[in-house]
Structure 1
């Protein structure tokens, strides 16, 4: 059966979902993976696919099931399910049009069961999330980037920010307006839910100033070390560049994946970000910096991960110590375990096994590359984005936001990632890769 995996943010999802595609190939299942054209190929095509839903999209899910397909909900924001009742309720919209909900962990299973009808409970499973399989030590070669090490060394201090509300590249109000117009995110139009998001925005605003202060002080405390700020893909990186201009050992970087930066960092500092969890799982010393605390404005569990600090001086003391206490790391991994099944099993392997079961008896078909004219239209749209991204004002910011989430990805890059994954895990199968159009690839098992 053909699997279809649409991606939203390439730097967050691409490597992990390519890893998932290799596990699907091991079960004899091809995968269509990429940006928006994945949906163009499979929604309403009249042929069955196993669709990886990430947005609780009722219309798309219904169309897939109508064509005798299968829908697995595999949500990249799985740690945030229990944050607000409205978010939980948003999942109930797909109770009638989802075959399985694959959650990050047992805790999220219980959260979702609290709002789903009992007859759906057996369709909610803790599988883990495939991209987090890649934090295992054997995948370290996949993440280490020689260009990063050459520029910054191996002792740089990495500050990962996640303030996509207060520092959104589109502006907060316009970002909320855009979300509220999307069918699957109508909850953002609800005044009560919007008030909650405003509270998160206000908390993040305080943290923005605190992070600037932290970077300036760490720059002075450690003049011989690089301080690297890596904003969330949805953030406006110029905020940091403008406020930290003139500090020669402070760098604002948006290139590469989060794990590329974590892999060679001396310390990782976060406030409320999944990169703190990834750094902990990858064995990097983690500092949790929270000069301002607002439980409702922060993701569950994330503020518990890392050595707790509230002032730049405390952060500096931890860095001087050289590491985080090993016993603390072990205790925090135990705290994390109910929220992330990847601690005990491979999510990609578990989901591939389920896909094999649900895909039995279904036709397997392979989509073809777009014709010359249709392919040209895709490239024309991309070229238009590059031009419009240079515009000043909100239009340019909106296009830059889209390009930051999903820049152009080449066939060579996809093949390179797959080759490195197989090098780290030699039992993974050989596959054939075809680029069907811009940012859309078909990965098929080799005979």
Structure 2
């Protein structure tokens, strides 16, 4: 069967999806992956697929099952940050239209099962998440970016922030927008919204200390660069306005955060998932807590790294960028949350998909769209580029949408795959076809016999 994996945020998901696609190809399964056109192909074809649900869209999942397909929920957010009942219940809206739920770890699986009817508990399988298969020392060469090394060296301090209160569109507007989306009805739950507002108030108390920390580090180590890398939703001007007089401070979120982690001398965070990635990649990690609220800081990642209560403690920890990474015991404590620490998630998920494919119908392969469909796709993209030039909130909103999945070429996809294969030579060779904008087909090198195709309007 054809596997179909939609991607929302390329920087967060693309590498893991490509790695999973290689493991699926090793089992003879082709994978359709990319942006919004993936769902267009799936829904318009009416043909069965193994669909990797990432946003709990009941209408899409129902259509996939109705066509004889399979729905495997593989959510890129997980539930390791917040175990609140509202969050779990929002995730489990798909119980009536899912074949299997892939949990990141035993802890997440327990959260799911605690809110599920007993006769549904078997829907949950502990797999891990594909992206974290790559968050390890072995893949440091894959993420090493020589252009970053030339510009910033290998002793820079990377400060990762993840403060939703500093949203580029404004916090109140952002949560109001989410509340209008059917997959995010949790943002209409008053109890959850009160929690989010309290969290935003907490985060606002952290913004100035983090900007000041960057200044202190830059002044203390003038020969080193300090990189502030805000979360993709954050307003970067907040940090630029407070550091623009310092030539060795850079506010930059281009590329994958793992590229930045791979050549950093030390990584600083408060309660950011990038702290987890830095820990797994073997980097010295500092958890800066000028204030700390056990309830409002993300409970899992806010305890990762060496804690520092003030800028002087951070400076002391960051002074020796050659220090050994600290975190062996912390990695051990993460075992219940991340099955990747004991198994290869992509291999487990690919085996699960293959078990469904073995009793499924014949594989079909999507074709590039026709001329008019292709022109329509590119016209919408060109329209977004023009609207992104608008001033004010409208322009910021479109730029935010475009930044989620920048235009990606066939050469870039092939390059990423070959670099993965250079780290793991046992990964299979594959053919990659560019179907349309940010939409690709990855299939085993030996083409499937008897496969038939379909365009997105079929």
Pairwise TM-score range, normalised by the shorter structure:
over 0.9
C-alpha displacement of 1:392: 1.2
Larger deviation, residues 148-157 vs 99-108: 99-108
1:337 maps to 2:335 = yes
Q: Which residue of 2 aligns with 1:442?
A: 441
Map 1:57-72 to 2 at 5 A.
57-72=57-72
1:88 maps to 2:88 = yes
C-alpha displacement of 1:330: 1.1
Task: Note if contact 2:81-2:299 (Cα within 8 Å) is conserved in structure 1.
Answer: no
C-alpha displacement of 1:82: 4.0
Q: Following the alignment from structure 1 to structure 2, what is the Cα–Cα distance between the partners of residues 145 and 50?
A: 34
Residue 16 of structure 2 aligns to a residue whose secondary structure is helix
Residue 96 of structure 1 aligns to a residue whose secondary structure is helix
Residue 52 of structure 1 aligns to a residue whose secondary structure is strand
Q: Following the alignment from structure 2 to structure 1, what is the Cα–Cα distance between the partners of residues 18 and 68?
A: 25
C-alpha displacement of 1:292: 1.9
Question: Alignment length, in residue pairs?
Answer: 445
TM-score when normalising by structure 1: 0.97
1:229 maps to 2:228 = yes
C-alpha displacement of 1:91: 2.2
1:125 maps to 2:125 = yes
Larger deviation, residues 188-197 vs 299-308: 188-197
Task: Note if contact 2:239-2:251 (Cα within 8 Å) is conserved in structure 1.
Answer: yes
Task: Note if contact 2:155-2:321 (Cα within 8 Å) is conserved in structure 1.
Answer: no
Residue in structure 2 matching 1:351, options 349, 365, 370: 349
Q: Following the alignment from structure 2 to structure 1, what is the Cα–Cα distance between the partners of residues 46 and 91?
A: 26
Q: Where has structure 1 moved over 6 Å in runs of 4 or more?
A: none
Residue 432 of structure 1 aligns to a residue whose secondary structure is strand
Q: Which residue of 1 aligns with 2:393?
A: 394
Residue 336 of structure 2 aligns to a residue whose secondary structure is helix
Would the alpha carbon gap of residues 421 and 325 (structure 1) be closer, same or farther in structure 2, given more than 3 Å must change?
closer
1:389-441: CA deviation from partner (whole Å, max 9, x where unpaired): 12111101101111121111111100110111111111111111111110000
Task: Note if contact 1:83-1:299 (Cα within 8 Å) is conserved in structure 2.
Answer: no
Task: Note if contact 2:278-2:285 (Cα within 8 Å) is conserved in structure 1.
Answer: yes
1:30 maps to 2:30 = yes
Task: Note if contact 2:81-2:298 (Cα within 8 Å) is conserved in structure 1.
Answer: no
Task: Note if contact 2:81-2:300 (Cα within 8 Å) is conserved in structure 1.
Answer: no
Q: Following the alignment from structure 2 to structure 1, what is the Cα–Cα distance between the partners of residues 296 and 437?
A: 37
Q: C-alpha root-mean-square deviation of aligned residues, in Å?
A: 1.3
C-alpha displacement of 1:156: 0.2
Q: Following the alignment from structure 2 to structure 1, what is the Cα–Cα distance between the partners of residues 167 and 122?
A: 38
Map 1:373-384 to 2 at 5 A.
373-384=372-383
C-alpha displacement of 1:322: 4.0
Map 1:44-443 to 2 at 5 A.
45-80=45-80, 82-163=82-163, 165-322=164-321, 328-362=326-360, 363-443=362-442
